[in-house]
Structure 1
Amino acid sequence: MAGLYDELLVLLHGIWSRRWVALGVAWGICMLGWLGVALIPNSYQSKARVYVNTQSLLEDKVGITQVQSQQDLDRVRSTLASAENLEKVVRDTDLSQSVSGPRDIAAKITTLRENITVMAQADPSMIDISAISADSALSDGANARIAQQVVQKLIDIFQEENLSGDRNQTKQSLAFLDQQIAARGKQLEAADQRRVAFAQRYVGLLPGAGSISQRMDAARVEINTIDSQLVQAQSALSAMNGQLIGTPATLPGISASGGASPLAQAQSNLASMRARGWTANHPDVIAAQREVDALRKSGGGGGAGGTGSTPNPAYLSIRSMQAERAATVQALQTRRAQLQGDLNTMTSRQVDEPGVASEQEKLDSDYVAVKAQYDKLMSDREEIRLRGEVKTETGSVQFRVIQPPSTPTAPSAPNRPLLLLGVLILGIGAGIGVAFALGQLKGTFPTAARLEKALGLPVAGSISQTISAAQVAVEKHRMKWFAGASGGLVAVYLLLVVVEFVQRGMA
């Protein structure tokens, strides 16, 4: 421990003996460093905070989600520092006073892009906008004023982009869609005219909608249905014919006793059975028919008073039903013949002109495709128009300045007092380091122990330094000069700090 203490004392003595070298180095480094700090231009920063609310009650109703609104806001924020917007900033602020041509504007834009910051907070609705002005050719007051003007202009552009940007974009989109709709409308009209011309060429073949193949398939299906209905109608007509054959047209006259004759009663019973649908093989019908035949052979069984006759109501009813069934059969046969004729004609046309079906299918396909595009464009146009009205008329973007652009009263950079102190410490440290290095390079031995260690021989003793009274007086005088020079270094530092704060106050 004592050895370390001795070494420390030796080290301090070596530095102290070269204190004037250390002080000179410190003065030189401090003056150069302070000059460099003085040449660093002051940077003045202005900050502002804005609140942008992208939520709207109607946006979700028209398909505008909050994610899409936030994407629009991010797009505006990312394009805020575009060359076009920065040129507006240059022309509308005091920066324009030092601009003489396009080259100066480009240089100002490059500098602004490096000194402008647009940053979103944790809440994406809160946005911080800051700008730094550090032009060495301008005064501190001018830099502070320009920083505030730049931030204010960026806020104006930001608000303009949100409020009028959507409106302009909507107009451009609608104009583009109108052009596309007009073009698709002409194509749709041409496709429809081709379809009309084709229909006029082959008019009357098979009425209805769809292609020729579809119409032919529909005709075949209808013919099959008519065939089934025709079978049923013909069966019903045959049944009516059978009933009509077994039903007398007239009824025999009245008997002498005032009632119906036996023949008339027998015939009436037989007709009633046939009207109920009983066939000729039914036992009761066979028995009734035999009774009628027997009465006819015996002369009718009615005597002289039964020679008159009256129309049979059952016969008239069956005759009416037969006529109705016959008309139905005739109508179905006529319709089937018409469809079959059209189908045969179309089949022969397809044989003679095999491209007719494919031509119609192509015309229909073209028309459907153009019609789908036209309808899609009309739907998109209506959606964009409605979304544009929602954004512009309902105030979908609520813009509010939370913190207006600040007017800086102190430079944000550099931290000149701290830099001045750093230069002072660096100069003092460099002076001490130089004094220490010189002490290590000089070939002397400060203690007898070091000499004994270097020579490898025992040292008998050492003689301490003897200082006379005159030397003591000279040393005291030098100490005063050293203290004054050291104090002067610190005083210069303090003076520079005071000047810095005075300049800040003046700015």
Structure 2
Amino acid sequence: MEELVGQLVGYLRGMWRFRWWGLALAWVVGIGGCIAIYMMPDKYESTARVFVDTQSILRPLMSGIAVQPNVDQQVAILSRTLINRPNVEKLITMADLDLGVRTQGQREALISELTNGLRIRGTGRDNLFTLAYADTRPDRAQRIVQSLVSLFVESGLGTKRQDTDSARRFIEDQIRNYEEKLTEAENRMKEFRLKNIGLLSENGQDHVAQISQLASQLDQARLELREAENSRDALRAQLVGEEPVLLPQTPTPSAVSIPEIDGRIDALKRNLDDMMQRYTDQHPDVIGAKRVIEQLEKQKLAEIETRRQAGPGAFGALNTNPVFQQMKLALAESEARVASLRARVGEYESRLAQARAASRLVPELEAELAQLNRDYAVHKSNYDSLVARRESANIAVEMDAQSAIAEFRLIDPPSLPSKPSAPNRLLLMPLAGLAGLLAGFALTFLISQFRPAFSDARMLREITGLPVLGTVSMLDTPERARTRMRGLAAFSGGVVAFVGATGLATFALHLIQR
């Protein structure tokens, strides 16, 4: 620490030798700075305050129905990006600043000057902005700020309309694309269903459930068939013990009655009438009953033809008995029911075989159908969402046109300044004096470094590296002391005079600007 202090004292002693040079430079720099500050042209700043009201009563009312843009963020971005070259060129035209521009260089200089001079200052909240510009002419500064206010408002509304139109066009294009995709998906599903209509689910049932239902129906039909066959066999066993009675002879074939065949035909017809009330002509029971009736009628015709060829007595050989006839009729009904149930069992067996053969293809078909349904559902969901967003955007546009979601209000119009706002000469004058003192201090330091001198024995010993045997001091005579005091007083007076002159110039400037 002692060495540092000693080195600093050495520097100060060396600078003290050239103090008059420094004081002279301080006066020169100070006077030159004061003259330059006084000669600086005045600049007049025109300002305007704009408030952007983004709080509309419709915004909470239309929440969830209309698109709610972040207007605060849009306004903040606009305030930071408004000052760009296209807008500055537009502002030059609006403020008639290009009337005196003759060359491209002058225009570029004007654009650069405006870009650097325009200011948009925000409070950070409440969307209150201050637009300012300083110029050497007050009326020109006011025109520029007025044009900037108009540009600020128009850019905000125009950007919002452009964004809305772009969003609507994009949504419309996407809706058309998804309409085409939906049409293609619907056509694929239609073609797939028509191609595999016999293998797809019916009435909400899958193929496994259909096979299970067919198997259950087949088991039920087989059970009913066994019951009918047992009933028929019982009737046959009872017919063996009945006594026959001779029928009267029938002279013509049309009047011939064969009880066992006629009874079965009558029973089948009654059963057919009952089934026609419940089923269609394509039902397997109806088809089987008609087929058995046709077979019995052919059998009857063949029997009549055989008896006619055998002679007239053959028609009188028929056995009949009231009980025997009833049992014959019951047997005929039982035979008809057995035939009908056999046809039903055969039809169910055929359907079940077809279903089981097709069941191998069902998983692939169901997977393909599920993929088609999934693609269709995705396209349908996106399409519905886009349509809803389009309607929401339309409502937002109408709401904006009716109520102006973001309203620009001019709080303070552009002012016509009467006093210059720059330069701040009252601040620059003391700074000029301080700059003169610093320049003189720096000059004395540089000269002391270029023309060094040893101020004590320690410095001589450290620099030369030689032992110093002793020092010879100068005797201070009264005349030398008086000379030194006069020089110190003169230098101090020069410094005090410099500071006083700077203060006096500042005070005089203050009186002039009042």
Letter in 2 for 1:397: A
**How far off is 1:460 after superposition?**
10
Q: Secondary structure in 2 aligned to 1:150?
A: helix
For the pair 1:172 / 2:166, whether they are aligned, the reply is yes
Distance 1:340 1:392, change over 3 A: farther
Once the two structures are aligned, what percentage of the paired residues are identical? 25
Distance in 2, matches of 1:217 and 1:366, equals 25
The Cα offsets for residues 162-181 of structure 1, whole Å up to 9 and x where unpaired, read as 33432332122111111111
Distance in 2, matches of 1:376 and 1:196, equals 24
Q: Which residue in 1 is equivalent to 2:366?
A: 357
Q: Which residue in 1 is equivalent to 2:320?
A: none
Q: Which residue in 2 is equivalent to 1:76?
A: 78
Q: Which residue in 2 is equivalent to 1:401?
A: 410
**How far off is 1:89 after superposition?**
1.9
Q: Which residue in 2 is equivalent to 1:151?
A: 145
Q: Secondary structure in 2 aligned to 1:62?
A: coil
1:194 alignment partner, one of 188, 196, 215: 188
Q: Is the 8 A contact 1:152 1:405 kept in 2?
A: yes
How many aligned residue pairs are there? 364
Q: Secondary structure in 1 aligned to 2:73?
A: helix
Q: Secondary structure in 1 aligned to 2:408?
A: strand
The Cα offsets for residues 327-360 of structure 1, whole Å up to 9 and x where unpaired, read as 99999998x9999977764553453687433332
75-84 vs 343-352, which deviates more? 343-352
Distance in 1, matches of 2:55 and 2:363, equals 62
1:184 alignment partner, one of 161, 178, 181: 178
**How far off is 1:115 after superposition?**
2.9
Q: Is the 8 A contact 2:67 2:392 kept in 1?
A: no
The Cα offsets for residues 153-204 of structure 1, whole Å up to 9 and x where unpaired, read as 2322222233343233212211111111111111111111121122222335
Distance in 1, matches of 2:358 and 2:108, equals 75
Letter in 1 for 2:411: I
2:509 alignment partner, one of 465, 489, 497: 497
**How far off is 1:388 after superposition?**
2.3
Q: Secondary structure in 1 aligned to 2:153?
A: helix
Distance in 2, matches of 1:167 and 1:21, equals 69
Distance in 2, matches of 1:165 and 1:194, equals 43
Q: Which residue in 1 is equivalent to 2:29?
A: 29
Q: Which residue in 2 is equivalent to 1:125?
A: 126
For the pair 1:369 / 2:391, whether they are aligned, the reply is no
Q: Is the 8 A contact 1:55 1:66 kept in 2?
A: no
The Cα offsets for residues 110-152 of structure 1, whole Å up to 9 and x where unpaired, read as 4444333333326x22422233335xxxxx22xx334323332
The Cα offsets for residues 396-416 of structure 1, whole Å up to 9 and x where unpaired, read as 123211111222223322212
2:420 alignment partner, one of 401, 405, 411: 411
**How far off is 1:24 after superposition?**
5.8
- Correspondence list, 1:218-367, <5 A: 219=210, 345=354, 347-351=356-360, 355-367=364-376
Q: Aligned Cα RMSD in Å?
A: 5.5
Distance 1:205 1:379, change over 3 A: same
Distance 1:184 1:330, change over 3 A: closer
Letter in 1 for 2:197: V
Distance in 2, matches of 1:102 and 1:341, equals 96
**How far off is 1:489 after superposition?**
7.0
Letter in 1 for 2:194: Q
Q: For structure 1, list consecutive stretches of 5 or more residues without a partner in the other structure.
A: 1-14, 135-139, 242-322, 444-453, 467-481, 503-507
- Correspondence list, 1:135-150, <5 A: 140-141=136-137, 144-150=138-144
Distance in 1, matches of 2:479 and 2:172, equals 110
Q: Is the 8 A contact 2:429 2:506 kept in 1?
A: no
Distance 1:166 1:330, change over 3 A: same
Q: Which residue in 2 is equivalent to 1:91?
A: 93
Distance in 2, matches of 1:178 and 1:400, equals 34
For the pair 1:62 / 2:63, whether they are aligned, the reply is yes
Q: Is the 8 A contact 1:59 1:390 kept in 2?
A: no
Distance 1:107 1:227, change over 3 A: farther
The Cα offsets for residues 42-64 of structure 1, whole Å up to 9 and x where unpaired, read as 44322222222211222232337
Distance 1:388 1:221, change over 3 A: farther
Q: Which residue in 2 is equivalent to 1:385?
A: 394
Distance in 2, matches of 1:119 and 1:391, equals 27
For the pair 1:216 / 2:207, whether they are aligned, the reply is yes
Distance in 1, matches of 2:481 and 2:164, equals 96
Distance in 1, matches of 2:171 and 2:107, equals 37
Letter in 1 for 2:52: V
**How far off is 1:106 after superposition?**
5.5
Distance 1:37 1:462, change over 3 A: closer
Q: Which residue in 2 is equivalent to 1:262?
A: none
**How far off is 1:383 after superposition?**
1.6
Q: Is the 8 A contact 1:54 1:396 kept in 2?
A: yes
